[in-house]
Amino acid sequence: MAAQAPLSVRRVRRTGLRTKLFVALLVTTVPGLSVLGLYAHQSAADLIRDLMVGWWDGRAQLLARTMGEPIRMAADDVRMLAQTPSVTRLADGAVGSAPRATGVVEDVRREFEALAARRRNYRHIMYIGPTGAPVVRVDPAGPWGRGSGSGSPVADLDRGLLDRMRDLPPGALYVSDLRLYRAGGRIEGPGRPSMRFATRVRSASGQPAGFVIIEFDAGRLLSGLRSPDPGVELRVLDAQGFYVLHPEATAEWGGPEDRNTGTGIAGEFPPPTVERVRMPLPAVIEDAGRIVVTQPVAPFGPQGTQWRVMLVARSSLIDERVAASDFHRGFVLVAIVCSVLPLAAGILLIGFFLRAIPKLQEAARAVAAGDLSHRVAIHSGDEMEDLAQDFNYMATRLAEYGQLERAIALEKLKDDLIHMIVHDLRTPLTGILGTLQTIESCDYDVEVTRDLVPGARRASVTLMGLINDLLDINKMEAGAMELDVARVDTTAVVEEAVDMLRPLAEDKGLKLRLLECEGLPPMEADADKLRRIFVNLIGNAIKFTPSGGEVIVRAGGGYDGQALHFMVEDTGEGIPPEYLDRIFEKFGQVETRKAGRLVSTGLGLTFCKMAVEAHGGRIWVESTVGKGSTFHVELPERPPAPAVTTGEDDHVHQAP
Ligand code: ADP
């Protein structure tokens, strides 16, 4: 099996998935929530705006009614007066040539005075004859004072008015334009405009006679009007589009009749706005950065004389009010809360949904570390639970496969071992058997026997070594290796091992040399095991070195308490680095070398390692593939106490 690089387990805590889910959450929710927020923001603004404009409209209506009421009343009053019996009697007198009855005049005056007492905004109440001659005049307030007959009221009536009234049928109403009251050609004062309501009197005999005229003090009415909102201007327009009431009206402003100096809507607003304001309908107009709310004052009279109440605000006033409004702020706050809360909830939910991941990571690491019994417990009822179940199933299967693989490997090992033992035991045995047969068949000829016995001895040694290795390892696995320690002539042991193997080396065409080994200090050791260590190492060197190569055994150290250092060098095929540790394990061959088939036990180095370590030493190897290997053995002068001395030795001992 090819060697695999160890799995590197990443320990960095990653948050990528969390971030991606968070981004997905943002991408999917924020635009919608923003639109919702904007919509809420805009709706609140629109609502406030509608409320404000609606409120102004309502106030304008109220103002229009407030103004319309006294005007309508004046129109009714003038009609009512024209029909009172005293007035019609006076008209009779005026029409006929009968001398004027002073009593009737007084009756009429009393009638007029009674009305004037009720109506504080009537400047004059007059009766004039058909030619314009004044007959009765009451001035409830004004420069002439109550009942004053002085001055020339008719002179105050412009000629045009008289002309217009002449064609007026009895009962019909004439309403003048708003006019300034002039006394002796002098404007009485700014902001004190008046209106005239006139009707023709039908005499008791049914003839058209003189006129009843009420001069209505519009200034008094107008000065009582106030804007309903500090940010909004109140204006009143007459039918011609001139301002009757305007916040900029000053002493110089002559009022509507003084049109050269008067202020009109046409000069201030563009034509479309002026058109719409002139229409006899209520209107809300946005134009030139202003909002104009108009309400017609209730129409009256045949001329359709009509005033109009106008409220004018800067458009930006609405934005300012919207911005300052608590209601709006509340709406915006709700929009923000509606955006932030779902986001926060989303983040919490993401954390909640991903809480299973650390458990899965922990389980994966445990399995990677070899704990195939580790299981994950996730009961989230979602895909995470599925994943955990799949993971647990995988771990179960891995454990099963592991057992199976181990069983297969063991089976193969057993087969290989049997094959090897059969091969390794049979080969030397065949040699020994052959030798014995030959000796027998030559009737124990001395010459022949002398020739053949060394070979049979070598084969026996090999067999014995193998059997001893197996026995030793078996014993060593059961407990500590038992050493039969005695004082050993180190050089002799090494030479013995080399001598044993020299024929093998020569057969293979190898040079086997022993260097720097003379006069080595003696050591306390198990001589048999020591020899087998060297036999194993030198045997391997011969086995894995092709003919023509060289095997060198060296030794050094061992003086002044120093450890003895042995080296077995060869010029063989070498060992790949990844096998350097494994070859010391039981059955640890460089497998690829023999195409997966064992040809040796792989027990020799295992024995060496155990034996060296039992002596308190160490063994290691340096090797370069294709160049050769050097096995190092370091042994102390004596093994660490307590050295165990065997009472009994079940080893097969070689013949001396
Ligand atoms: P065996 O030699 O019976 O296989 P060992 O435990 O002695 O068992 O050796 C284990 C393995 O180590 C050998 O199979 C061989 O692959 C490798 N090995 C041992 N010594 C050498 C050497 N000198 N040169 C190359 N390979 C070696």
pLDDT digits (tens, 9 = 90+) for 597-614: 344 566 788 888 888 988
pLDDT (average), residues 37-49: 82
Among 48, 546, 651, 643, which residue's Cα sits nearest to residue 332?
Answer: 48
DSSP assignments along 290-356, one per residue: EEEEEEE----STT----EEEEEEEHHHHHHHHHH-HHHHHHHHHHHHHHHHHHHHHHHHHHHHTTT
Is 570 within 8 Å of 538 (Cβ atoms)?
A: no
Give the three-class secondary structure for 219.
helix
pLDDT of residue 161: 67
Is 553 within 8 Å of 514 (Cβ atoms)?
A: yes
Among 588, 587, 634, which residue's Cα sits nearest to residue 615?
Answer: 634
pLDDT (average), residues 398-416: 82
Average per-residue pLDDT for the chain: 78
Phi, psi (degrees; rounded to nearest 5) at 186: -105, 135
pLDDT tens digits along 343-356: 888 888 888 888 88
Would you give the distance in Å from CA 198 to the centre of its chain? Answer: 79
Kindly state if the Cβ of 583 falls inside 6 Å of ligand 1. Answer: yes
558 pLDDT band (50/70/90 cuts)? Answer: low
pLDDT tens digits along 453-506: 888 887 887 788 777 777 776 777 666 667 888 898 888 889 988 998 888 888
Share of the chain above pLDDT 90, in %: 14
pLDDT tens digits along 123-162: 889 898 887 777 888 887 654 433 333 334 444 455 666 7
pLDDT of residue 590: 53
pLDDT of residue 618: 92
Which of 468, 538, 540, 631 for mutating ligand 1's site (highest number of atoms within 8 Å of CB)? 540
Which of 463, 467, 544 for mutating ligand 1's site (highest number of atoms within 8 Å of CB)? 544
CA gap 28, 36 in Å, rounded = 13
Whether omega before 31 lies within 30 degrees of 0, making that bond cis, reads: no
Kindly state if the Cβ of 568 falls inside 6 Å of ligand 1. Answer: no
pLDDT tens digits along 515-549: 877 778 888 889 888 998 999 899 989 989 998 99
Is 95 within 8 Å of 117 (Cβ atoms)?
A: no
Residue nearest ligand 1's atom 9 by CA = 602
Would you give the distance in Å from CA 333 to the centre of its chain? Answer: 20
Give the three-class secondary structure for 48.
helix
CA gap 564, 617 in Å, rounded = 9
pLDDT of residue 158: 57
pLDDT of residue 186: 41
User: Taking 60 as the threshold, does the pLDDT of residue 3 lie above it?
Assistant: no
- What residues form DSSP beta bridges with 292? 285, 312
CA of 535 to the centre of ligand 1 (A): 13
pLDDT of residue 311: 93
Count other Cβ atoms within 10 Å, centred on residue 358.
10
Count other Cβ atoms within 10 Å, centred on residue 382.
11
CA of 589 to the centre of ligand 1 (A): 6
452 pLDDT band (50/70/90 cuts)? Answer: confident
Least confident of 215-219, 232-236, 448-452, 572-576: 215-219
589 pLDDT band (50/70/90 cuts)? Answer: low
94 pLDDT band (50/70/90 cuts)? Answer: low
∠ CA(137), CA(140), CA(141), 5° rounding? 120
Residue type present at position 368: A
User: Taking 80 as the threshold, does the pLDDT of residue 233 lie above it?
Assistant: yes
Task: Please report, for residues 266, 286, 290, the alpha-carbon distance to residue 270 in angstroms, rounded to integers and kept in the order given.
Answer: 7, 11, 12
pLDDT of residue 414: 74
CA of 468 to the centre of ligand 1 (A): 17
pLDDT (average), residues 410-415: 76
pLDDT of residue 114: 92
